[in-house]
Structure 1
Amino acid sequence: MASITLTAEYGYTVAVSAVSTVLVTLLGYNVGAYRKEAGVPLPTMYAEESEAKKDKKKMIFNCKQRVHQNTLEGFTSFMVSLMVAGTRYPVAAPALGLIWCVGRMAYSYGYTSGDPNKRMYGGFGHIGDIGLLGLNIKMAFDMITAA
């Protein structure tokens, strides 16, 4: 039977989970804060494409909304991977988690600059995702083969 003992270093993993949650919350706040300025009333999720082509504020609003939504799409798997990998790799997992967070910030900065192609600034954040996935796969392999 496999067992997991959490060390004091697991606190780094917990800290990065808190940082990433604050990041996602701030991305959502940015959407809400810019909504009125862009003139996109609730409950409308996005400005119409034709409006966004004419009005840069509406286009930037759509970019802010997309950054937040895109981040949420992968947030659950990121958090699960972070928390699981952190049990065995309590320093490497949060380091990869911070890479993901910084990548998400760069992605947001680039995407909302007015040129959505600049979202690629944050592409390095995938190192965090892929690294955490690799740690989870290694953990699974080690646990299965130890049985």
Structure 2
Amino acid sequence: MPVMSKLPDEFGYVVLTGVASWFLVGFMAHKVSKARREYGVEYPTMYSDEEPMFNCIQRAHQNTLEVYPSYLFFLTFAGLQYPRTATGFGLLWIASRCSFASGYYTGDPKKRHRGIYGVPVFLGLMGMTISFAAHQLDWV
């Protein structure tokens, strides 16, 4: 018998966490757009040979976009079985990306490691997603 026949009552928290993450990505995109004007980096150029500060701002956004689809996938499916825990982990992931970006925005790429606590959070969402799948398949 599958774990669920309908969405959990608290799944709305998971949805709101996904919405909050969209604002994070939007803020980061705004920072890149502003940096393009400030440092004179025209589209479609992704990175600058002359402006390492622009590259740091762009890279913080790009790296977040690289993991964002997986984050949303894991958040959604983890939230189907563990809505409160997934919400907490999802919010921690957002906070870690803020720490990551603020470190990058200093111009010193090594300071991006301020957001390293997002790695175990991300793995936790992945683990909850795997647990959800195992329950759906009646493996546990």
Q: TM-score w.r.t. structure 2 length?
A: 0.93
Q: How many residues align?
A: 139
1:146 offset after TM fit, Å? 5.0
Cα 1:85–1:64 change in 2 (3 A) is same
- State the AA in 1 paired with 2:126: L
Determine the structure 2 residue equivalent to 1:22. Answer: 23
Structure 2 unaligned segments of length 5 or more: list them: none
For the residues of structure 2 that align with 1:107 and 1:136, how far apart are their CA atoms?
A: 24
- Superposed displacement of residue 8, structure 1: 2.7
Aligned to 2:76: 83
Note if contact 2:11-2:83 (Cα within 8 Å) is conserved in structure 1: yes
SS in 2 for 1:45: coil
Identity %: 40
- 1:89 shift after superposition: 0.5
Match status 1:145 vs 2:115: no
Q: With the length of structure 1 as denominator, give the TM-score of the two structures.
A: 0.89
Residue 123 and residue 87 in structure 1: after superposition, are their counterparts in 2 closer, same or farther (change >3 A)? same
Q: Distance in 2 between matches of 1:39 and 1:145?
A: 56
- Native 8 Å contact 2:53 2:107 kept in 1: yes
**Could you say which structure has the higher helix fraction?**
1
Whichever residue aligns with residue 25 of structure 2, its letter is: V
AA paired with 1:20? S
1:1-147 matches, within 5 Å, as 1-2=1-2, 3-48=4-49, 51=50, 58-145=51-138
Q: Quick one: distance in 2 between partners of 1:12 and 1:92?
A: 10
- Deviation digits for residues 17-71 of structure 1 (CA, Å, limit 9, x no counterpart): 00001101111110001111112122211101xx2xxxxxx21110111111100
Matched residues in 1 for 2:62 and 2:98: separation?
14
Contact 1:100 1:127 in 2 (8 A): no
